[in-house]
Amino acid sequence: MSKSEYFPQKIYVEKKSFDFPLTKRILKNVGPVPREVIDDPQEVLDDIKATKDIIGEGKKYLLITRQKGEFVKPCPCTPGYLGCNYFILNIDLNCPLDCSYCILQHYLTNPLITVHVNLEDLWRQLDIFLHRKRLRTIRVGTGELGDSLALDHITGNSLHLVSYFRKKRNAIFELKTKTVNIKNILKIEPAPNVVIAWSLNSSRIAHDEEKGAPSVEERIDAARRVSETGFRIGFHFDPIIRHPDWEKGYEEVIKKLLETVDPARIAWISLGSLRFPASLKAIIEERFPKTKIIYDEFIKGKDGKLRYFKPLRLELYKKIVGFIRAWGGEEIPLYFCMESEDIWREAMGWVPKGEENLEAYLSFPLG
Amino acid sequence: MKKKNLSLKEISLEDERFRISYYFSLEKLILSIQKVSGWKRVLACIKLGMSSLPVFVTEEEDELKTFLAAFYENLATREFYLLEKAEILSRLKKFGEDEKKIVQRYLPLLDIPSTLSNLESYLAFSRFEPELKRIIHEKNMPFSSVKLLAGYNPQERKSLLPLLLPSGQNRMKEILEDLMEISRRNDIAPQKILSSKEVLDIMGHEKLSPLQKADKIRFFLKKKRYPALSSRKESFDYLLNKLRLPKTIVVKPSPFFEEENFSVNFSFGNSEELKTNLLKLQELTSKQEFSAIFKLK
């Protein structure tokens, strides 16, 4: 997959999704891409299953369908570790990028790049959800089951989402991406409660393990351009991966980041080390036979997922927190994704008193 | 089909093209024999000393169709073993069945998730060496372990046999997994690890039983695969040893030292034993080795 904008080889439109405005917008924006109206996506899935690389094959096709369940869900987080009280919006499922470690390879049963087009249901569900949570500041994002901006040149969803959340002051809305697909974002008026965030990694991991994603330098440059328009930006070092010279690799990226963007514009940086369910390992081995990242010292954590043996995690976190603080990020709110209290205590020097405390800590810089 | 009375000498047991059954007990079958129409039953008749038997002779010349007739007959009456499934899929491919059709139609019939990758795994199993196939069947090795074996070359698989033979399913899987992962992580061929001095010393040890050898090699591989965790465990065991705890008191870290807490277990039959254990535990808290345990968190 090229690092330029994603266009599917073919679009499948579920019959009942054909008349939605977003469907029409997508079909217009993709230009001469072949399209087919189908009754049931299962027909397409059966054919894909007879190919060698089901997940890779699925990325070639875009499915337009409706969200039949809830658009807004609490981030599943993980039992036994501290959560950050995040909510996810499931508009797009799956991602045209092909990162070796991606949890979606295990998590999603449908390998097609999928867009849910019944946005009227989304706005209605969001109104109800935010009204119920009106006494709290809620963090919501779209980047859990797909990349928030990878399809934005086709869907234009960022424009609508930013417009919606601009008026919802009890919500902090985050678009999370590895792409530089920021044309729409650069066109719109920034909103103080909207954060545009990038997943970052060492250049070596980005190059070897994040197939199809722009380089780390390109991502940082895109973040700079977005922050200069007035948006706040965020970063996620997740998954942090041990590899030869990892200290040097992560320090270089952090130095570059904090020299390029104004640290005062950074709403937060999250840290999370590589973790995965045991069943993902077999998928990674089969799809990425050259990768070595799964052969480090992983143990079964309290949630049953494989994660680095604790002293190794702690070493990663302490170094990276130190690099951020040393290169000018002393005031940037940092948090861990799915970590235990003792890791918080030893690497950050404090432990949030529950999810709401963490929520307040991350909301504070936005006023 | 024509019905004939055929001499058993005329039935070729060397032609295995349409053979489905590989793993069975002939003795059980002999007791229930009534008529002959399959592989196992011919063997049973020979063993019973029969000279001829009535058979239906097929006029079908298409090998695929003939094989499918045998396949469906077996499918209706019994479940297949893992390696039988591998043979069936291999024959289907050999007789020209379309790969996509095998994935979509035959894999579900064999209770295998219908993906091309699964088909490829089973085809690889069908090419295994006969000795290895026998062990896989006898040990009732699960798909996940057999798939690990497919990652090794024939020479490596041969070297692994002495380790697999005495081990149970879980230990076999550990050996296969750890060896492969060390090899991939360190870019060293599995054969080179298996030919290392440490492994050869264990294998050449005269006083160790095959199971003890396999176990020692399993520990050796585990230590190589998880050096930091193994070293932490060794330190913990060393400190615990120095505490000279009575056998009735067991101190354990959390699994993989992931949690901060340790646990103490002891049993007692009366209040005197309880008191002795509690006093012993109280003594422990003042020992230096006991404080050192907490630094292992």
Query: Tell me: the pLDDT tens digits for A15-30?
Result: 999 999 999 999 999 9
Residues of A whose CB is below 8 A from B184: 292, 295
Average pLDDT in chain A: 94
Burial class (CB in 10 A: 0-12, 13-18, 19+), A113: buried
CATH of domain A66-366: 3.80.30.30
Residue B107 phi/psi, 5-degree rounding, is -60, -45
CA–CA distance, A322 with A332 (Å, rounded to integer)? 12
Q: How close B167 comes to chain A (CA, Å)? A: 23
CB contact under 8 A, A51 and B116: yes
Residue scoring higher pLDDT (A45 or A185): A185
pLDDT at B288: 86
Residues of A whose CB is below 8 A from B262: none
Question: Is B114 touching A (CB cutoff 8 A)?
Answer: yes
The span from the first CA to the last CA of chain B, in angstroms, equals 75
What's the ipTM? Answer: 0.89
Residue A191 three-state SS:
coil
pTM of this prediction?
Answer: 0.88
Q: Where are the alpha helices (DSSP H) in A292-364?
A: 310-326, 341-343, 355-363
Asked if residues A157 and A192 have their Cβ atoms less than 8 Å apart, the reply is: no
Cα dist from A42 to A63, A193, A251, B219, B258, whole Å: 11, 40, 46, 47, 42
Mutate to test the interface with B, among A299, A303, A307 (most CBs of B within 10 A): A299
Most confidently predicted of A259-263, B30-34, B270-274: A259-263
**Residues facing residue A116 across a β-bridge:** A65
Q: What is the pLDDT of residues B206-248, one digit of tens each?
A: 999 999 999 999 999 999 999 999 999 999 999 999 988 888 8
- Alpha carbons within 13 A on the beta-carbon side of A12: 20
Give percent above pLDDT 90 in chain A. 83
Q: How close A231 comes to chain B (CA, Å)? A: 39
Mutate to test the interface with A, among B229, B230, B235 (most CBs of A within 10 A): B229
Residue B224 phi/psi, 5-degree rounding, is -70, -35
CA–CA distance, B229 with A311 (Å, rounded to integer)? 9
Count residue pairs from A and B with Cβ separation < 8 A. 59
CA–CA distance, B191 with B153 (Å, rounded to integer)? 9
Q: What is the pLDDT of residues B139-182, one digit of tens each?
A: 999 999 999 999 999 999 999 999 999 999 999 999 999 999 99
pLDDT at B76: 85
Q: What is the pLDDT of residues B55-74, one digit of tens each?
A: 666 666 788 988 898 899 88
Residue type, A127: D
Residues of A whose CB is below 8 A from B181: 295
Helix B210-225 and helix B169-186, axial crossing angle in degrees, nearest 10: 40
Residue A367, pLDDT above cutoff 50: no
Domain ranges of chain A: 66-366
pLDDT at B90: 97
CA–CA distance, A60 with A7 (Å, rounded to integer)? 8
